[in-house]
Amino acid sequence: MSEQKELLTTNRKALTINLDGGKYGTFAEIGAGQEVARVFFQAGGASGTIAKTISAYDMTFSDAIYGKAPRYVSRERLALMLDHEYALLIERLAAQRGDRSTFFVFADTVAAKSFKGNNDSHGWMGIRFQTEPGGEPSEIVLHVRMWDKEAVPQQAALGIAGTNLIYGAFYYRDNPQQLVESLVDNVGTARLEVDMITFKGPAFARIDHRLIALFLVQHGLTNAVMFGPGGEVLQPSEALYRKAILVERGSFRPVTHVNVDMLNCATAQFVQEPAVKGKEVIALMEITMNNLLAAGRLDAHDFLSRVDLLAQLGFTTLISNYSEYYRLTSYFRRYTKEMIGVTMGINNLLEIFNEKYYEHLEGGILESFGRMFRHAVKLYIYPMRQDAYDRYLNTGGGAAGHAAIAAHAFAGNVLITAKNVHITPHLRNLYDHLMENHYIDCITGFDPAVLGVFSRDVMSRIRDRDPAWEKMVPPSVATAIKQRRLFGYLAPAAVPLAS
């Protein structure tokens, strides 16, 4: 967390900017986002800051001014607004006051709750600004969701958020974490969600967008962020929109052959589902914040290492605050009505049937399952060798009622699957119902040779400088770990030559 700071009121932020004679610019607002300019006008002294305000509310007028974009409320539309208004600002005012002013354009395009009340309340806002007269501009763009039930408070929240963004760009840009936290000053995360933010330009040359996105989750501005195979930050509502979704949860520290085999096998089965055929599918590797904070603090280098290795294998990564699976599937339902698949190992399956995780729900485990399995959700269960299963139970895994079986000579050859796993007796009928109705399915076509691979064993071998770990992960992952010395990697100790 950043150090404690005085919480400035929205009016104070706007007035501070208005009285800063060097800052001068345009406010362009479309749709419900008419509130930011109003905040600056009401604060007083706006003549020192505002060159122009414009509201192209009608789509025909908006298209005529900014050109057409695929959607009225979209990142593309915001980019067109920033481009047009910034070019116009420089063209008309650079000669007159460019030597003493740092120009900026604030723009937003927003849909608040409609009169019918059945639309998605969200918007894009951004600021393009100079940090010195005549300098190259920098830019911040973010996507927001409004959670107030009515349009008027949603609009008020946008006015506050837009003011926070402008103030943050001017006064917090050297402290990105403080900038991120300040976006919800005086409005709070219960009313406003920021689920994506990007920075570019000379003021942010050293920023890692993935860490900034992680801050959004860490500080509660959103519950999930996404990264593409190229490491780019994705906007969830666009990446997941109307797609069938398959997700695998793990630590991926590091990603192993088992992780890859599990998702590949589950994908092969998922795309054959009647409800999925012909649909666009997105497969995700998900890491929870609980996992990232397992050591008691967030290790940024460790986080980036995991995301980089997943991206290197071509995977899209989701970081979420959803420790319970039913909350994760409910999150996906914001964006799609298509089928959702969740793939996991036997250990995670047993954790789902551990009732201690649902004591906070009035309906307990039944309520959680009702939430998780509604609207076409299916679990794909990867098998586990019995020796690994016994080790899991002996270390305290699973719910009460599970007893480890004494190890025997063939434990490495016996597989525990979704069909023969031991479920606590009083939940067995519930489990059988889910199996018989195909809410739970066994993964087939898996590679038996990799079943004994676990991330914790890879990490142990890396620490012990045992090169055997290299065969437990994909070759490109092994190469990256060695080249970049990830996860504490050191080259194997030299073997002394025989005399």
DSSP bridge partners of 126: 107, 141
The pLDDT of residue 261: 97
Q: Where are the domains of the chain?
A: 10-222, 238-455
Name the amino acid, one letter, at 37: A
C-alpha 426/C-alpha 418 separation (Å) is 17
Nearest Cα residue to 365 out of 423, 445, 279, 295: 423
pLDDT at 410: 57
Give dist(CA 18, CA 445) in Å, integer: 65
Above 80 in pLDDT, residue 498?
Answer: no
Alpha carbon 70 to its chain's center:
24
Q: Which amino acid is at 337?
A: K
Give SS3 for 230.
coil
Looking at residue 1, its pLDDT comes to 43
pLDDT, average across residues 214-239: 92
Question: Under CATH, which architecture does the 10-222 domain have?
Answer: Alpha-Beta Complex (3.90)
Q: What angle do CA 429, 434, 437 make, to 5 degrees?
A: 120
Q: Could you read off the pLDDT of 448-480 as tens digits, one per residue?
A: 999 989 999 999 999 999 999 999 999 999 999
Mean pLDDT (whole number) for 219-245:
93
Q: Mutual orientation of helices 75-97 and 59-66 as an angle, nearest 10°?
A: 60
pTM of the model: 0.88
pLDDT over threshold 80, residue 441:
yes
Q: Show the CA angle centred on residue 98, arms to residues 94 and 104, nearest 5°.
A: 85
Q: What is the DSSP string of 341-356?
A: EEEEEHHHHHHHT-GG
Residue 495 has pLDDT above 80, yes or no: no
CATH code that applies to domain 238-455: 3.40.50
The 10 Å Cβ neighbour count of residue 212 is 21
Q: How confident is the model at residue 409 (pLDDT cuts 50, 70, 90)?
A: low
